[in-house]
């Protein structure tokens, strides 16, 4: 049992004894005083942590718990008073009834208090914000920091304004939104997470918004078609995986984590209409992805038009001073400035950072495209996927996500392409999983692909069509169709027990089928 588990026993016994030995008037006074003290202390704590903001929505979980607390206390007071008035009709002495009723009210009060206190101490993160304490160092390294930021960012709006605020030593609220549309963050997210860590180290407050509400709509940025709609359960499950991955880069103790369902889910239809009245449809259709769809005759879902409004209102809700994102988010981030102005807030400055291409070397890294390197993937997968990127991307990966100082990057860039990529892969694994994991992943890769040995453990699979190689590849799940399997064979991407396999190759019991660089299975017939 922890000390938190003991809270209910302490409060229930303590208030039961207090109620037994005190009279009605004193109990009422103590209940009222206790409620006022609880609300005042909790509000002060939340304001000190930067959790309570000036927003149009006050129906947060904390506000609701205050109301619940107050209602329960009023009910207890009324029941206690009613019991005192009716005690003459019960065959008990007044003094006995007073003690008994006082004890009952005390026990109930202790129960409610303990539940609420445990709520405050152990509420799950999906319902609460994690407040960021004040920076440990009061001096902000503004000039040097802005120079580093400017080097990494593609654009900053408004650059002079941000520089002036940093030079004044202002402590800024820096916002990044992440929609949990998939369970994994990927290496492409390191670009903006590193920027957030730089703001943290310079003494600013990082506000990480988990878009559990906007994920139900889906960000249309960079999309040529409507995203599939997720269920609330899928979004919640995805969000739960983000914290451990974010901890790989950020200092959790210095993050304020918010869920935008706190304010967006509480909006009424009138609130939504009021928000949408702050801009025009023409403004929304200026988005490149929307205008491209209009030209191509591709549908735009009515719900997708809501997305930029919701993301922009996030900036109002947390009173953001700066918002960062990738270049594909520029419209949304600038739109946030306009909505803040409409709500009489000082508009946020915006910094956008380059997008990282995926392992295919063409489209941006994306889980939906299958060209991503996940932060939480096993070290061997991260190493192997990094080794598969085109040579021309090695330098960009080094500069954007390796975390190496520029002098080290220049040394790696000067290496032969194969060695430079191996150094990048080793550094990425080292950064995410540690030096020992990086050494193991490198040795595993060399054993598989330099020495052409098999991995230590090869899964087995029974197949029914050993005479049709393409069909077997589909059956074991290494290709989605026979045509894809035939293409892999024609390209030389299929091996049987280490030898390239022709289209008419036959499989025998115990053969190891290899497709691509990382997919192995031992064939069992029957």
> What domains, with CATH codes, occur in the chain?
7-122 (no CATH), 142-353 (3.40.50.620), 379-450 (1.10.240.10), 460-525 (3.10.290.10)
* Torsion sign, CA atoms 519, 520, 521, 523: positive
Please check whether residue 354 is in contact with residue 195, taking contact to mean a CB–CB distance below 8 angstroms: no
Q: How far is CA 344 from CA 33, 158, 275, in A?
A: 37, 18, 13
Helix (H, G, I), strand (E, B) or coil at 427: helix
Bridge-based pairing of strands 512-515 and 519-525 is antiparallel
For residue 325, the surrounding DSSP H or E stretch is: strand 322-326
CA 269 to chain centre: 27
pLDDT at 121 exceeding the cut of 90: no
The predicted-structure confidence for 282-300, as pLDDT tens digits, reads as follows 888 887 778 888 888 888 8
The predicted-structure confidence for 21-77, as pLDDT tens digits, reads as follows 665 555 565 666 565 655 555 554 444 333 333 333 333 444 455 556 566 666 666
Buried b (16+ CB within 10 A) or exposed e, 371-380: bbbbbbbebb
Q: 279: which 2 tokens?
A: 């801009």
The predicted-structure confidence for 338-386, as pLDDT tens digits, reads as follows 999 999 999 999 999 999 999 888 889 987 777 889 999 999 999 988 9
List the 494-496 sheet strands across, edge first. Answer: 460-463, 519-525, 512-515, 494-496, 499-500
Cβ neighbourhood burial of 242 (10 Å; 0-12, 13-18, 19+): buried
Assessment of whether the complete model's pTM goes beyond 0.75: no
pLDDT of residue 124: 37
- Of 4, 2, 8, 1, nearest in space to 112 by CA: 8
Cα–Cα distance measured from residue 185 to residue 180, given in angstroms and rounded to the nearest whole number: 9
Over residues 76-105, the mean pLDDT reads 57
Q: 410: which 2 tokens?
A: 């220049």
DSSP string computed for 306-342: HHHHHHHHHHHHHT-SEEEEEGGGHHHHHHHHHHHHH
Instruction: State the pLDDT confidence band at 118, using cuts at 50, 70 and 90.
Output: low
- For the chain, give the mean pLDDT: 78
pLDDT at 464 exceeding the cut of 80: no
pLDDT of residue 128: 33
Please enumerate in sequence order all residues whose Cβ is within 8 A of that of 5, keeping only pairs 6 or more positions apart, or say none.
Answer: none
Cα–Cα distance measured from residue 239 to residue 266, given in angstroms and rounded to the nearest whole number: 20
- Look at 403 and 60; give whichever has higher pLDDT: 403
Return the minimum-mean-pLDDT range out of 120-129, 267-276, 365-374.
Answer: 120-129
The CA-CA-CA angle for residues 151, 154, 157, to 5°, reads 100
């Amino acid at each position: 049992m922890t000390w938190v588990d003991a809270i209910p026993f302490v409060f229930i016994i303590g208030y039961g004894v207090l109620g037994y030995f005190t009279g009605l008037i004193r109990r009422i006074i103590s209940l009222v005083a206790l409620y006022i003290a609880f609300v005042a202390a909790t509000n002060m704590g939340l304001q000190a942590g930067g959790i309570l903001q000036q927003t149009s929505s006050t129906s947060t979980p904390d506000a609701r718990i205050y109301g619940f607390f107050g209602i329960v206390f009023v009910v207890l007071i009324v029941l206690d008073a009613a019991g005192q008035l009716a005690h003459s009709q019960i065959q008990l002495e007044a003094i006995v009834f007073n003690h008994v009723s006082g004890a009952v009210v005390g026990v109930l009060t202790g129960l409610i208090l303990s539940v609420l206190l445990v709520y405050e101490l152990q509420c799950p993160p999906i319902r609460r914000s994690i407040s960021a304490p004040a920076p440990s160092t009061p001096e902000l390294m503004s000039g040097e920091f802005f120079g580093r930021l400017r080097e990494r960012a593609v654009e900053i709006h408004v650059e002079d304004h941000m520089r002036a605020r940093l030079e004044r030593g202002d402590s800024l609220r820096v916002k990044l939104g992440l929609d949990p549309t998939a369970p994994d963050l990927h290496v492409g997210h390191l670009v903006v997470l590193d920027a957030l860590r730089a703001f943290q180290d310079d003494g600013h407050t990082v506000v990480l918004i988990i878009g559990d509400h906007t994920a139900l709509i889906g960000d249309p940025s960079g999309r040529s078609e409507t995203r599939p709609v997720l269920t609330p359960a899928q979004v919640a499950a995805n969000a739960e995986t983000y914290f451990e991955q974010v901890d790989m880069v950020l200092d959790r103790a210095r993050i304020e984590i918010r869920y935008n369902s706190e304010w967006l889910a509480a909006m009424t239809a009138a609130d939504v209409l009021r928000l949408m009245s702050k801009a025009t449809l023409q403004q929304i259709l200026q988005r490149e992805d929307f205008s491209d769809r209009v030209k191509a005759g591709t549908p735009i879902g009515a719900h997708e038009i809501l997305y930029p409004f919701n993301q922009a209102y996030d900036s109002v809700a947390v009173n953001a001073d700066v918002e960062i994102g990738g270049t594909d988010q520029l419209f949304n981030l600038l739109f946030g400035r306009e909505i803040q102005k409409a709500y009489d807030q000082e508009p946020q400055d915006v910094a956008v950072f380059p997008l990282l291409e995926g392992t295919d070397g063409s489209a941006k890294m994306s889980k939906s495209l299958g060209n991503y390197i996940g932060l939480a993937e096993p070290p061997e997968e991260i190493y192997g996927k990094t080794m598969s990127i085109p040579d021309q991307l090695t330098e960009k990966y080094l500069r954007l996500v390796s975390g190496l100082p520029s002098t080290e990057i220049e040394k790696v860039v000067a290496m032969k392409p194969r060695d430079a990529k191996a150094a990048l892969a080793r550094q990425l694994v080292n950064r995410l999983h540690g030096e020992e994991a990086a050494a193991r992943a490198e040795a595993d890769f060399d054993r598989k692909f330099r020495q052409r040995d098999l991995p230590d453990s090869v899964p087995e699979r029974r197949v029914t069509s050993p005479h049709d190689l393409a069909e077997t590849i589909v059956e074991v799940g290494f290709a989605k169709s026979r045509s894809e399997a035939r293409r892999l064979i024609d390209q030389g991407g299929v091996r049987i027990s280490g030898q390239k396999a022709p289209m008419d190759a036959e499989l025998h019991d115990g053969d190891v089928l290899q497709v691509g660089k990382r997919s192995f299975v031992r064939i069992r017939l029957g």
